[in-house]
């Protein structure tokens, strides 16, 4: 029998109530990638999906933010099924639609089928309209300890860094999407490992991280400590990285940069107030809530800095330490630093946001990259900086000051004259208040004053405007949002814009040490 939840009335659909079972008859699971779609366990040989009421699963318009998306679905849109061969049971997906079924962004083609593999993403009509992710029940948990698999279903790889990897997971029981960061203990410093009370130190650091609650900080739901690794269960943010946004646009407008950067400064200020220095701030570690130019940001990849080996952190930059402070480079990551290193990194990020290329680059002919950073050698060439305000340049200068004691503090940054912009401050304040309210609704205690503006009430579900048997609407009328690649850190990254050639301007550098 099918394990589908009721689908005809969206108010009866509870996508978080389906329990993940260990039933041996389950050959696959479809986890929802949209909030109003249910979790589905596959036990029968064949399942059909579409608008038709004779399907195993029937979509309705209220399951989607835009009912026009639903209108593009066919009566029978796709099916998933098992076939028996000499190799055993094989799983397939077949496209039955007019407008297309996509697997991992590639259109199958009407009437065609292809193998369905673990962690395949299924999209309908448009490749960015992701609906389900398929998990093969025979392979989804391989290689993970029972302390993790008993609580989470492990899915696709999202990224990989110096300390480990990040995976998409679904919480058992609720099917809520989360990100799981795996921090390998082999990356911990020798000093930490040999020191007294190593396990107590881990617990102490984790306890600090678990208490953090701020709208602009990635929320940590859970930490599972095993012999080999720490498994950190994190809030999943799906708008992509700031880095990719800059590459896509070339640069941010000064006002958009101000809107996002104020949030970054507030978030880092919150970390500093709690005694945490990030140490690895860069655009790849600033996540965006959605595709809008002005949206909520989330700082990620903070914490455990006292346990992770300094050389491991340096390797994060793969030989191009663009965002590292001078004092870190001088001691090759083995010195003692203050939170001023985060202010330097934020200064580099602001520079990149405003013009789309970094202040320090290996493309310069007169100084190598490390010399540029250690001596504070950078410039503001008119070809890109002419339209940027003097206040923005002044903030960059005061953040990219070589001597840490003379560098702005993070509170100085927040109070800088560049942020004397009532409209921006008001918009950011209202955004954070709304995010705080949403966090409280999820049981989190966000660290902000009582909000001055509450969220507007949710709109009532839109009535289904299309009869199930009617032909699907053409997709040409739908706006095509840019597709977001989840695996954003599995490739080499570089900014599209480059620093002007040396001959393009007479004064190459400004040595700023104060």
Task: List residues with catalytic annotation.
Answer: 280
Q: In degrees rounded to 5, what are phi and psi of residue 455?
A: -65, 145
Cα distance between residue 47 and residue 66, in whole Å:
25
Which among 209, 204, 206, 154 has a CA at the least distance from the CA of 180? Answer: 154
Give the number of other CB atoms < 10 A from CB of residue 494. 11
Strand partners, 80: 47, 93
* Both structure tokens of 411: 């509170």
Cα distance between residue 452 and residue 430, in whole Å:
7
Q: In degrees rounded to 5, what are phi and psi of residue 163?
A: -95, -10
- Asked if residues 139 and 31 have their Cβ atoms less than 8 Å apart, the reply is no
- Asked if residues 72 and 123 have their Cβ atoms less than 8 Å apart, the reply is no
- DSSP classification of residue 506: S
- Asked if residues 254 and 389 have their Cβ atoms less than 8 Å apart, the reply is yes
SS3 of 277-319: CCCCCCHHHEEECCCCCCCCEEECCCCCCCCECHHHHHHCCCC
- Asked if residues 299 and 410 have their Cβ atoms less than 8 Å apart, the reply is no
Which among 68, 48, 67, 64 has a CA at the least distance from the CA of 56? Answer: 48
CA separation, residue 501 to residues 378, 497, 498 (Å): 13, 12, 9
Cα distance between residue 169 and residue 177, in whole Å:
6
- DSSP classification of residue 49: E
- According to DSSP H, which parts of 130-279 are helical? 146-149, 190-194, 198-210, 242-249, 254-273
Cα distance between residue 103 and residue 132, in whole Å:
10
Please give the biggest Cα pair distance in the chain.
76
Rg (CA), the chain: 25
Residue 189, exposed/middle/buried by CB under 10 A (0-12, 13-18, 19+)? middle
Distance from chain centroid for Cα 89? 35
Q: In degrees rounded to 5, what are phi and psi of residue 303?
A: 95, 160
């Amino acid at each position: 029998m099918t394990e589908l939840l009721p689908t005809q009335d969206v108010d009866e659909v509870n996508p978080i109530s389906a329990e993940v079972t260990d039933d041996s008859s389950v050959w696959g699971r479809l986890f929802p990638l949209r909030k109003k779609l249910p979790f589905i366990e596959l036990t029968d040989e064949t399942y059909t999906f579409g608008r038709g009421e004779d399907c195993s699963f029937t979509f309705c318009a209220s399951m989607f933010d835009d009912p026009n998306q639903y209108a593009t679905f066919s009566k029978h849109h796709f099916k998933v099924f098992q076939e028996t061969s000499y190799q055993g049971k094989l799983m397939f997906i077949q496209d039955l639609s007019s407008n297309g079924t996509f697997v991992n962004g590639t259109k199958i083609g009407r009437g065609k089928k292809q193998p369905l593999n673990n962690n395949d993403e299924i999209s309908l009509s448009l490749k960015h309209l992701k609906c389900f992710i398929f998990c093969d029940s025979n392979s989804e948990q391989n290689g993970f300890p029972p302390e993790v698999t008993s609580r989470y279903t492990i899915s696709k790889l999202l990224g990989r860094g110096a300390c480990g990897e990040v995976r998409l997971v679904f919480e058992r029981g609720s099917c809520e999407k989360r990100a799981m960061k795996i921090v390998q203990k082999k990356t911990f410093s020798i000093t930490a490992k040999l020191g007294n009370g190593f396990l107590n130190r881990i617990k102490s650091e984790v306890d600090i991280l678990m208490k953090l609650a701020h709208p602009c900080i990635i929320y940590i739901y859970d930490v599972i400590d095993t012999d080999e690794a720490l498994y950190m269960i994190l809030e999943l943010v799906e708008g992509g990285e700031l880095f990719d946004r800059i590459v896509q646009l070339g640069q941010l407008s000064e006002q958009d940069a101000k809107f996002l950067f104020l949030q970054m400064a507030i978030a880092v200020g919150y970390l500093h107030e709690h005694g945490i220095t990030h140490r690895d701030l860069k655009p790849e570690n600033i996540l965006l809530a959605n595709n809008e130019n002005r949206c909520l940001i989330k700082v990620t990849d903070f914490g455990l800095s006292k346990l992770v080996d300094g050389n491991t952190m340096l390797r994060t930059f793969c030989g191009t330490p663009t965002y590292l402070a001078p004092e870190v480079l001088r001691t090759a990551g083995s010195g003692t630093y203050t939170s001023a290193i985060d202010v330097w990194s934020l200064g580099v990020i602001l520079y990149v946001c405003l013009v789309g290329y970094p202040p320090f680059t290996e493309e310069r002919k007169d100084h190598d990259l490390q010399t540029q950073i250690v001596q504070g050698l950078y410039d503001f060439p008119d070809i890109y900086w002419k339209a940027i305000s003097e206040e923005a340049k002044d903030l960059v200068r005061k953040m990219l000051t070589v001597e840490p004691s003379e560098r702005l503090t993070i509170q100085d940054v927040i109070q800088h004259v560049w942020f004397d912009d009532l409209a921006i401050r008001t918009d950011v304040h209202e955004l954070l208040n709304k995010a705080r309210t949403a966090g409280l609704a999820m049981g989190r205690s966000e660290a902000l004053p009582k909000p001055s503006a509450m969220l507007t009430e949710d709109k009532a579900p839109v009535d289904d405007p299309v009869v199930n048997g009617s032909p699907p609407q053409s997709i040409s009328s739908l706006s095509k949002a840019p597709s977001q690649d989840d695996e954003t850190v599995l490739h080499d990254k570089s900014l599209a814009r480059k620093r002007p050639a040396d001959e393009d301007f007479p004064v190459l550098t400004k040595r700023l040490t104060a």
